[in-house]
Amino acid sequence: MIDRWYKNAIIYTINVGTFMDSNGDGVGDFGGLRDRLNHLTWLGVDCIWVQPFYPSPMQDYGYDVTDYYAAKPANGNLGEFVEFSQLARDKGIRILVDLPVNHTSDQHPWFQEARRDRRSRFRDFYVWSETEPSETDKGVAFPGFQQRIWTYDDTAHAWYFHRFYRHQPDLNITNPSVRDEIKRIMGFWLKLGVSGFRIDAAHFLVDEVRPDGSVVRHYKYLEEFREFLSWRQGDAVMLAEAHVDLDEIPHFLGRGRMQMGFAFQPNQYVFLALATGDSKPLIEGMKRMPHLDHTGQWAQFLRNHDELDLSDLSPDERQRVLKAFAPDPNMQIFGRGIRRRLAPMLGNDRRRLELANSLMFSLPGTPVIYYGDEIGMGEDLSLEERWPVRTCMQWSDAPSGGFSTAPPGELLHPMIHNGAFGVETVNVDEQRRDPDSLLNWMRQLCDIRKSCPEIGWGEMEIIETDDDAMLALHYRWQGGKVLLLHNLADVARGVRLELKEEEAGELVDLFGNQVYPRESGASRTIELDGYGYRWFRVRQ
């Protein structure tokens, strides 16, 4: 039987350059990751998604790669990566590395040779047009920051296609040599100790784009990559960033293709529910989600390194979320999303932070934590585009936040100082010492979630309630049952749930460590205060 370890994992997202600097040069590195593995094991994490650390001009946060078989010197060498990956495995932590192979940097040797010599084998590694394509400005990924998707190259005397910025030419996935190269890259990192890959822009990776604007998607290529992974390492996984229509999701997840995919639609409805105090849109959104086969799994999240994309909401719903969490235009981006971290979005309200994280951990699938959210880090809105949420990790109240011994002005990314989210107030050291801190509560949440494999493996049932502020979820798996309740209403309004005798059983409150015996012949009333949540294990 193939080990589907990802079904009950907790994933933690890390950017190497902003997590921990071990040599005082102001840039995070593999030595820093190695030194902070104890923090992650203590927290309860058993899988790390490491964002791109490959050589790069860094025009797009490292997603513009010039060499897939190396690491940026500032982050360390391959020997240090192997040291980190081996120690992580010894501590029970698996590693997923980001794989941005929809495109390369325009500085990649492949593209440089392709543009110089049309007879080179690398010419067909990219997508070219000898004549100017129609509608070169249609379908840009980053409105307001990107002007077109086809650019003329004076050296190549042709137009090249780029789904994202002009410095990121798309690879030609229909070329078998490109797919073979992707498999070599995968095999290389598997040998260095990783357990799989977060596939960047997976929905664009399978696209065949033509100059006339037509697009054909070749889902079969995903089966080709999955077959390769299964042959090389049976338990290796692919985590897809595939923000597609619901009816297209089954083409990406399960069925011999990618095992995991980010739950973009539920993510948006979670924030709509938090903004309105109404569970109905979230319930309806979850009911519309396609059923995945036994190998498929959702990756649930609240925030990440990109914008909070609200494009699946109606215009009215989107405005309600923006009004609640990003009322200032400087907090918004691309005409569709929010460029803020979770804690400031929720007003740094501890009750709402607990509610949001508890809710995310209770949704079907595997939870994904963005670095720093476990301590309630803030953002720096003075930074451009998506950079506000990518500041350095705050380990202590030292001038450079314990991230580095370098002075604050020499750090790769800014450190937040002063105010409610400055390192003087929000840092790991202080919260580790405080038993009532958000960090210690998050550790408890991780522990409780690990004790509920029903959420990752089992079937979910939405229990009907008489109050729209209440979300009640029931999971069953291998004879085990858990009941998870959330009150989305504010502190001024409590809610209650009436459980019928056949639904109740003996309830074990997992957060309160209290047992409520079953009373024969009677219903059960459970009350929740505003922003309240309860996790119960149900014993018959």
The identity of residue 472, as a single letter, is A
d(CA 194, CA 84): 11
Instruction: Return the structure tokens found at 150.
Output: 């086809």
The identity of residue 98, as a single letter, is D
> What interhelical angle do 264-276 and 350-362 show, nearest 10?
150
- Considering all CA atoms of the chain, what is the largest pairwise distance in Å, rounded to the nearest integer? 82
Sort 492 into a burial class: Cβ within 10 Å, 0-12 / 13-18 / 19+. exposed
Beta bridge partners of 460: 475
DSSP 8-state assignment for residue 338: E
Instruction: Return the structure tokens found at 439.
Output: 């960090």
State CA 218 to chain mean position distance.
24
241 given a catalytic annotation: yes
Long-range contacts, stretch 140-149, CB < 8 angstroms, 24+ apart: 142/334, 142/385, 143/334, 143/335, 143/336, 144/333, 144/334, 144/335, 145/334, 145/385
200 given a catalytic annotation: yes
Q: Which residue's structure tokens are 């000898």?
A: 130
Query: Which residue among the candidates 21, 241, 307, 317 is catalytic per the annotation?
Result: 241
CB 64 within 8 Å of CB 82: no
Query: Which residue among the candidates 170, 200, 207, 374 is catalytic per the annotation?
Result: 200
Beta bridge partners of 129: 159
B/e letters for 381-406, b = 16+ CB within 10 Å, e = fewer, are: eeeeebbbbbbbbbbeebbbbbbbeb
Question: Could you list the active site residues?
Answer: 200, 241
